[in-house]
């Protein structure tokens, strides 16, 4: 069977965003059952939105890709808030929150760098 791969799958920011989604799924398993449709769901949707927007914008025009990268960056900020709320509510540890923030900071920097690259290539 042939291995089919899309070009956006080679982007490091895409790969790291998928790793972050894995982390969010792991950490939200610790949330109380009553949060399944609350903060846990919101946190997962925000995390999933990062690689989805990267994938959706890749291969389009640079201007369109930049727009989708902005959406991914916005979802990164949303994840920061979800992690903060989870820590403040005692659903995750301070270490989990710090780990998420480090990874989200890295994703944000990578996203902005890619946006700057796209603007220069115009």
Rounded to an integer, what is the distance from CA 99 to the centroid of its chain?
14
- CB count in 10 Å sphere of residue 122: 8
Task: Give the model's confidence band at 119: pLDDT under 50 very low, under 70 low, under 90 confident, else very high.
Answer: confident
User: Among candidates 63, 92, 68, which has minimal Cα distance to 80?
Assistant: 92
Look at residue 58 in the predicted model and tell me its pLDDT.
Answer: 94
pLDDT digits (tens, 9 = 90+) for 7-61: 999 999 999 999 999 999 999 999 999 999 999 999 999 999 999 999 999 988 9
- CB count in 10 Å sphere of residue 121: 7
Structural domains in the chain plus CATH codes: 8-120 (1.20.1440.60)
Q: Is the pLDDT of residue 2 over 90?
A: no
Q: By CB neighbour count within 10 A (0-12 exposed, 13-18 middle, 19+ buried), where does 40 fall?
A: buried
């Amino acid at each position: 069977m042939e291995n089919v791969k899309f070009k956006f799958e080679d982007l490091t920011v895409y790969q790291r965003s998928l790793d972050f989604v894995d982390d969010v799924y792991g950490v939200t398993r610790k949330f109380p059952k009553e949060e399944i449709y609350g903060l846990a769901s919101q946190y997962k949707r925000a995390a999933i939105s990062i690689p989805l927007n990267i994938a959706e914008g890749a291969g389009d025009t640079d201007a369109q890709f930049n727009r989708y990268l902005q959406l991914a960056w916005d979802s990164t900020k949303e994840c920061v808030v979800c992690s903060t709320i989870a820590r403040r509510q005692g659903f995750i540890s301070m270490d989990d929150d710090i780990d998420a923030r480090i990874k989200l900071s890295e994703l944000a920097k990578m996203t902005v760098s890619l946006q700057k690259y796209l603007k220069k290539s115009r």
